[in-house]
Amino acid sequence: MSKREFQTEVSQLLQLIIHSLYSHPEIFLRELISNSSDALDKLRHLTLTDDVYKALLFNPRIDLELDEENGTLTISDTGIGMNEEDLVSHLGTIARSGTKNFLAQLSGDAKKDSNLIGQFGVGFYSAFMVADKIEVVSRKAGEEQAWRWVSDGKTGFEIEPAERAVAGTTILLHFNEEGKQYANSWRLQEVVKKYSNHIAFPIFLTYDKSSWNEPEKKSEKTRTTEQVNVASALWRRPKNELTEEDYKELYKSISGDSQDPLFWFHTRAEGTLDYTTLFYIPSKAPLDLYQAEYKVGVKLYVKRVFIMDDAKELLPQYLRFVRGIIDSEDLPLNVSREILQQNRVLTSIRTASVKKILSELKSIAANDPEKYLAFIKEYNRPLKEGLYGDYANRETLLDLVRFKSTKADGLTSLAEVKSRMKEGQKAIYYITGGAESLLSKSPLLEIYRKKDFEVLILDDEIDEIVFSGVDKYGDLDIKAVNKASTSEDLKDDAEAETTNVEALKPLLDKLKTTLGDRVKDVRVSVRLADSPSCIVSDEEEPSMQMQQMMRAMGQKEFPATKPTLEINPDHEIVKKLLAHSDGAVTEDAAWMLFDQALLMEGVPLQDPAIFVQRLNRILSLSI
Ligand SMILES: Nc1ncnc2c1ncn2[C@@H]1O[C@H](COP(=O)(O)OP(=O)(O)OP(=O)(O)O)[C@@H](O)[C@H]1O
């Protein structure tokens, strides 16, 4: 028998599990049954597609055997099995990024951590919540030798050759104190029904069934085997035969989530292509939503046979929070990942699925705004990613995304913004680049406030990138207020007349010479009311905050573009400067107008010492 140590992360995880952080230890059974079901799926797939396995007898089943007296339970399957190498690597290390991330996020606060663990699910290792010793005997399909893996879940495990009549895996749990409650057939049936009722394979329970022997007037126990789950591919049944509970149960068994889903969309398509889709939206965004290695939530089936659950091409990336099933009649069973990428059938299913999900969301938004708000709270951001990547569905996505705005409490839709537009307002306006508190005080908004035009406050860091590519909502323009050209819409003919640009020209020239190559241009603004100055960028160029953000993210060579300084001809300072001829003061004032405009945009000063010197010079003149 050879002894092995657990990988450090496994020991860490086991420590947590054994100290019973998790509040529903019953999920151990769901995890083990789901592993067995995966193992059966894998073997079924091989027997259908791989000549080497075609001759194998495939008799898929999962067996639970309860020994109440000794406090043990075995979970056996006739699935793909594991050889020595598999046992060592699968049940001694953690390969899944989800679990690693989970460990990295632990705070040490037992309460918070137990919530976290609930959202991750810890797979096989969760069995150590209820067992102080676990023995696994497994034989890999196509191999003769079986192996036994034994561990107390503390330091490591032992492994030795063993025997098993057919391929598959048997897991023997020796229940601990916590686990004793599961050494009960009624309890086991309840847990199987709750989490694994719709596992596609039959689950049998063998136990000592009590019955009343009338002639002898005593209770007797008979060893009995009964099927405890319904084992149907529930998604293939007509909608009207399914209850809310059925849907919720299936969701929990395929997603591992312990909460109910927010909503689900079940579709059966017949015609050129035959397929069924059942999509769920989790009520809380998956914790790996913003990680590159996110876990795919949609499983692909072909004619009820499980094919894969890690194909990122089933749905576009921005819908990675969707959980569920795609079951196609038209794909070949041996479809590989490479084939999937350019498969016409899958492309059609995917296109129709996206349309379906988005149109269902749209109708929820219209018919149940409160529920929709719960959805948007979790998923507004991925939908915005869709605006960036999914051109074909942009119009629908624009209707689905919600925004903060200068005129609405909470969140608002573009349709609402459109309905509130004022006479003379030519476009939908937005401001990006920084926190809401900074944006809502930006001098760039002054003219909009004066004209009573609504401005969307886009304070999410991805907003600038996303919305720089979105310039229309229907036939309405969508414009950033910090772009030079946006002010063209704001000019009132009457105002333009009164501003005497000619008279300001010498001042503009002077400011421009002083600021030199820090600015592209200096010009008269129509967008300012109370502030003396602001900075804007050209249409095609990233804003100053965006440039700053890209550099902070390590893109040192991000090309620096120069902003345009706009000054407010009606402001006291500008009027005085016009009258003032002292060169030194004008120079200081030029820099102060520029620096304060940058500060208001949240861009830090290049040289605070010089700024302070100038400020002090000006202060001393005014006192
Ligand atoms: N009954 C089984 N038959 C064959 N292989 C198994 C069985 N149980 C576990 N394994 C192997 O051990 C691996 C680790 O299992 P574990 O439950 O820890 O994680 P997982 O199932 O991969 O992830 P998740 O629980 O998030 O789906 C599995 O991926 C599988 O390869």
Per-residue pLDDT of 34-92, as tens digits, reads 899 989 999 998 998 888 898 888 999 999 999 999 999 999 999 999 999 999 989 98
Mean pLDDT for the stretch of residues 377-392: 94
**What residues contact 62, with CB distance under 8 A and at least 6 apart?**
33, 36, 37, 40, 75, 76, 77, 199, 201, 202, 203, 204
Separation of CA 32 and ligand 1 centre (Å): 8
Mean pLDDT for the stretch of residues 185-208: 90
Separation of CA 122 and ligand 1 centre (Å): 10
Percent above pLDDT 70 for the chain: 93
pTM: 0.74
The structural domains of the chain, ordered by start, are 10-227 (3.30.565.10), 234-380 (3.30.230.80), 402-622 (1.20.120.790)
Distance, CA of 231 to CA of 201 (rounded, Å)? 5
Six-digit token pair at 323?
A: 């959980």
| C-beta separation of 296 from 309 below 8 A | yes
| C-beta separation of 17 from 28 below 8 A | no
Mean pLDDT for the stretch of residues 525-536: 89
Pocket test for ligand 1, best of 35, 80, 97 (most atoms within 8 A of CB): 35
For residue 558, the 8-state DSSP code is P
Identify the band that residue 488 occupies on the pLDDT scale cut at 50, 70 and 90: confident
Binding site, annotated residues for ATP: 31, 35, 77, 82, 97-98, 119-124, 169, 337
- The residues pairing with 207 across neighbouring beta strands, listed in sequence order, are 224
Torsions phi, psi for 472 (to 5 deg): -140, 145
Among 120, 121, 101, smallest CA distance to 293 is for: 101
How many C-beta atoms surround the C-beta of residue 384 within 10 A? 24
Q: Whose CA is nearest to atom 20 of ligand 1?
A: 123
Among 293, 177, 275, 188, smallest CA distance to 235 is for: 275
Predicted pLDDT at 63 = 98
Separation of CA 451 and ligand 1 centre (Å): 62
Predicted pLDDT at 163 = 97
Per-residue pLDDT of 388-422, as tens digits, reads 889 999 999 999 999 999 999 999 999 999 999 99
Q: Whose CA is nearest to atom 30 of ligand 1?
A: 90
* 3-state SS assignment for residue 273: coil
In ligand 1, which atom is closest to the CA atom of 80? 4
| C-beta separation of 598 from 544 below 8 A | yes
Per-residue pLDDT of 334-368, as tens digits, reads 677 777 888 899 999 999 999 999 999 999 999 99
Q: Residue 181 to residues 114, 130, 186: CA-CA distances in angstroms?
A: 21, 9, 10
Q: Whose CA is nearest to atom 10 of ligand 1?
A: 35
The tokens 């999914």 sit on which residue?
390
Predicted pLDDT at 433 = 81
Separation of CA 483 and ligand 1 centre (Å): 53
Predicted pLDDT at 566 = 93
The pocket around ligand 1, CB under 6 angstroms, is made up of 31, 35-36, 39, 77, 79-82, 90-91, 96, 121, 123-125, 169
**Is 585 a residue whose pLDDT tops 80?**
yes
Distance, CA of 490 to CA of 566 (rounded, Å)? 14
Identify the band that residue 494 occupies on the pLDDT scale cut at 50, 70 and 90: very low
Q: Whose CA is nearest to atom 1 of ligand 1?
A: 36
Predicted pLDDT at 120 = 60
**Is 519 a residue whose pLDDT tops 50?**
yes
Six-digit token pair at 109?
A: 């606060």
* 3-state SS assignment for residue 376: helix
| C-beta separation of 98 from 288 below 8 A | yes
Amino acid letter at 228?
Answer: V
* 3-state SS assignment for residue 148: strand
Per-residue pLDDT of 533-552, as tens digits, reads 999 888 777 777 777 777 77
